C-alpha cells in the first residue's frame, strides 16, 4: 500500500469559506486515501496562514519529511499555494525531492504537467538561482583575492611539503618537514641529473610518495619544480605576491631550476 502525507491549510481570509475548513479538508483527504487504497501517515497543517506565504511551519515540516514518503494528498492545490510565485517555488522544491501531489478535487493533477502560466515565473526563479550562485562565487573569489593580497594562500589543498594548521583562529599554511625533505631533494637532484625522467626513477628508488600515497609521475615532478610557492611566493590569477609562509627552496636555487627547465624545453 502506497504511503502518503496529507496537507491542509486555511488563512484568516478563508477560514469562514464554505467547504475549506480544516476538518472538511482532513475528511476529504481521509476519504480520498480510503477510496484509492493509500496509507495516510500524517497530516501537516497551517492555520491562519496565507497560501501566498512560503514561510509556513506546516509546509516546512512537510517538505523536510519527504524522504521515504514522496506523495502529498490535498483537498485542492490551492491549499498548497495561492499565487504563481508560491506555486513555482513550492513545485520546484517538490520536483527536486521527486515528490508528487494528489488532489481530491483535481483527480488528473500532476506537478509534472506543463503549465504555460508557470513558464515566465519559473524562468525568473532560474535566473535568480543563477544570480545567487554567481553572487556566492564572486564573494568567494573576492575573499580568495583578499587573502592572496595579504600573502596568504586563498584555499585548496596545500602543496606537498606544506600542510594546513587549524590550531589558531584561522587556518594557516605551515611547513610539513617530512614531505619538505622530499621537495628539497627533488630540486637538488634535478640540478645534478638535469632530467625529470631520471628524477622520477630516483623518487621511485627512494620510495618517495605523493600526498595521495602514489608514486611520483613526471608531471607531478614538473609541477613541483615550477611551483613558486616553494620559494615563498603566492600566485592567483593575475596576482603574484610574497607569501607569509616559510619558503622551502632558496630563491637562487629556484631560479637556477627554472633556467634549466627552460633550456631543456628548447632542446
Contacts of 207 (CB under 8 A, 6+ apart): none
- Do 2-113 and 162-266 have matching folds? no
Q: For the chain, what are the domain ranges?
A: 2-113, 162-266
Q: What gap in Å lies between CA 252 and CA 259, rounded to an integer?
A: 11
Nearest to 101 by CA among 154, 59, 53, 49: 59
Q: Which CATH class is domain 162-266?
A: alpha beta
Burial of 44 (0-12, 13-18, 19+ CB in 10 A): buried
Q: Which residues pair with 173 in a beta bridge?
A: 164
Cα–Cα dist 49/42, whole Å: 20
Top-level class of domain 2-113: alpha beta
Write down the pLDDT at residue 251. 93
The Cβ-side half-sphere exposure at 137, using a 13 Å CA radius, reads: 6
Q: How many residues does the chain have?
A: 267
Beta strand 162-165 with 172-175 is antiparallel
Task: Give the other-Cβ count within 10 Å of 214's Cβ.
Answer: 9
The confidence score (pLDDT) of residue 16 equals 47
What is the C-alpha separation between 237 and 74, in angstroms, rounded?
A: 54
User: pLDDT 10s digit of each residue in the chain, 267 long?
Assistant: 899 999 999 987 555 455 578 999 999 999 999 999 999 999 999 998 888 888 899 999 999 999 889 999 999 999 998 887 788 888 888 988 999 999 999 988 888 877 665 555 555 555 565 656 666 556 555 555 665 555 566 557 889 999 988 765 677 889 999 999 999 999 999 999 999 999 999 999 999 999 889 999 999 999 999 999 999 988 766 677 888 889 999 999 999 999 999 988 876
Cell of 247: 619558503
Global pTM reads: 0.47
Q: Which of 7, 32, 38, 42 is nearest to 106 (CA)?
A: 32
Angle at 182 between CA 177 and CA 187, to 5 degrees: 120
Query: Looking at residue 168, what is its pLDDT?
Result: 58
Amino acid at each position: 500500500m502506497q504511503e502518503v502525507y496529507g496537507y491542509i491549510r486555511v488563512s484568516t481570509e478563508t477560514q469562514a469559506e464554505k467547504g475549506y475548513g480544516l476538518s472538511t479538508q482532513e475528511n476529504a483527504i481521509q476519504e480520498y486515501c480510503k477510496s484509492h487504497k493509500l496509507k495516510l501517515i500524517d497530516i501537516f497543517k497551517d492555520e491562519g496562514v496565507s497560501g501566498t506565504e512560503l514561510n509556513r511551519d506546516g509546509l516546512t515540516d512537510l517538505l523536510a519529511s519527504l524522504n521515504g514518503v514522496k506523495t502529498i494528498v490535498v483537498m485542492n492545490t490551492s491549499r498548497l499555494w495561492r499565487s504563481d510565485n508560491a506555486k513555482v517555488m513550492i513545485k520546484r522544491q517538490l520536483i527536486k525531492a521527486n515528490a508528487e501531489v494528489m488532489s481530491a478535487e483535481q483527480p488528473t493533477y500532476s506537478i509534472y504537467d506543463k503549465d504555460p502560466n508557470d513558464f515566465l515565473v519559473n524562468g525568473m526563479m532560474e535566473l535568480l538561482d543563477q544570480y545567487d550562485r554567481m553572487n556566492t562565487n564572486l564573494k568567494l573569489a573576492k575573499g580568495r583575492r583578499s587573502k592572496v593580497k595579504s600573502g596568504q594562500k586563498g584555499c585548496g589543498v596545500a602543496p606537498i611539503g606544506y600542510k594546513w594548521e587549524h590550531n589558531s583562529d584561522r587556518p594557516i599554511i605551515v611547513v610539513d618537514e617530512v614531505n619538505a625533505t622530499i621537495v628539497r631533494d627533488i630540486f637538488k637532484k634535478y640540478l645534478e641529473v638535469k632530467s625529470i625522467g631520471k628524477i622520477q626513477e630516483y623518487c621511485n628508488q627512494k620510495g618517495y610518495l605523493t600526498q595521495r600515497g602514489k608514486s611520483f609521475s613526471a608531471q607531478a615532478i614538473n609541477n613541483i619544480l615550477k611551483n613558486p610557492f616553494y620559494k615563498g611566493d603566492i600566485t592567483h590569477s593575475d596576482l603574484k605576491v610574497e607569501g607569509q609562509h616559510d619558503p622551502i627552496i632558496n630563491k637562487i636555487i629556484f631560479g637556477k631550476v627554472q633556467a634549466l627547465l627552460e633550456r631543456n624545453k628548447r632542446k
